[in-house]
Amino acid sequence: MIGLFDSGVGGLSVWRELYKVLPQEKYLYFSDAGHCPYGPKSKEEIILRAKTITEYLIGNGAEIIVVACNTATAASIEYLRGNYNIPFVGMEPAVKPAAINTRTGAIGVLATKGTFKGELYLRTLHKFASNAKVLEQVGEGLVELVENGEVETPKAKELIGRYVRPMLEANVDHIVLGCTHYPFLEKTIREIVGDGVEIVNPAPAIARRALQVLQERKRSSVQEFGQNTFVTTGDNMEVLEAMVGEIAPDDYKGFVFRKIEI
Ligand code: DGL
């Protein structure tokens, strides 16, 4: 079983890539909406949540955990890898492909405060983007829009416009989505930035990495019948179900959705 977790529904952008290529696998998705957003939280607070969630996922059969949240990866992946004996796949800020492929020499990164503060981001920046001009923007309020199912509203347009306009003025040709919630805002972002800007979503690459890790574990059999379970600590069940339903319209009625308190 593959466990995934995020502060809310954002990690579904990674689950949908995995589900596309491996629909027969078992997934346990943990939405920590009762503690969302993670972005402004301290590293210590996030590690505590990551520990609780990891133990829940392992206790329920997860053999590999995808930390489907950039902020949680930044704060806790080293701790998790050092303390639990299963593989963890974390989110990488996709600065590398943007910095390699830019023609204008300017790229934009949208992420949470926690991700920008993390060592992982700073290291990636130093390693791959020292020649590019990088415009960083904290996406304050965007996670909440996705959690509330307000992705194509005037409010979303106004906020995104405010965040990406300075990037466009600086002539960026790539905008990196450094938070797993943001791919669900891609349509609105696209409307504002037009066709000339590449929007970089790292989720497919992270899903490929998770598959590779799974194969390395050389499991003898794949489950014959898939089962997808989605748990949440928050009150976002309606939005969670609706988003899963959009991703897997033919299958989601057989999925399990549960509210939990931990
Ligand atoms: N999906 C999380 C991320 O990738 C959102 C963080 C938050 O809850 O602020 O960073």
Q: What is the largest CA-CA distance in the chain?
A: 53
DSSP annotation of 112 reads: -
CA of 31 from ligand 1 middle (Å) equals 11
Tokens 């060592």 label which residue?
119
Pocket flag, ligand 1, residue 185 (CB < 6 Å): no
Atom of ligand 1 nearest to the CA of 115: 10
Residue the block writes with tokens 């590690």: 47
pLDDT tens digits along 100-154: 999 999 999 999 999 999 999 999 999 999 999 999 999 999 999 999 999 999 9
User: Is residue 5 in contact with ligand 1, taking CB distance under 6 Å?
Assistant: no
pLDDT computed for residue 225 by the predictor = 56
Instruction: Find the 49 Cα to ligand 1 centroid distance in Å.
Output: 13
Per-residue confidence band for 227, with pLDDT thresholds at 50, 70 and 90: confident
Q: How many Å apart are CA 88 and CA 102, to the nearest integer?
A: 30
User: What is the distance between the alpha carbons of residues 46 and 74, in angstroms, rounded to a whole number?
Assistant: 10
**Structure-token pair, residue 162:** 């405010």
C-alpha–C-alpha distance, residues 173 and 198, integer Å: 6
What pLDDT, on the 0 to 100 scale, is given for residue 216?
83
Q: What are phi and psi of 249, to 5 degrees?
A: -60, -30
Mean per-residue pLDDT, 28-55: 96
Q: Kindly state the percentage of the chain with pLDDT values over 70.
A: 97
Q: Find out whether the beta carbon of 13 lies less than 6 Å from any atom of ligand 1.
A: no
- pLDDT given for residue 24 in this prediction: 86
Read off the tokens for 95: 């600065």
Quick one: angle between helices 12-21 and 203-216, nearest 10? Answer: 60
Closest to 177 in 3D by CA, of 160, 159, 157, 200: 200
Query: 254: burial class by Cβ within 10 Å (0-12, 13-18, 19+)?
Result: exposed
Residues classed as catalytic: 69, 179
pLDDT on residue 217: 77
Ligand 1 within 6 A of 7 CB? yes
Say how many Å lie between the CA of residue 222 and the centre of ligand 1: 31
**Distance from Cα 207 to the centre of ligand 1, integer Å:** 17
pLDDT at res. 93 = 84
Residues 57-84: tens digit of each pLDDT: 999 999 999 999 999 999 999 999 999 9
DSSP 203-243: HHHHHHHHHHHHHHTT-S---SS--EEEEESSS-HHHHHHH
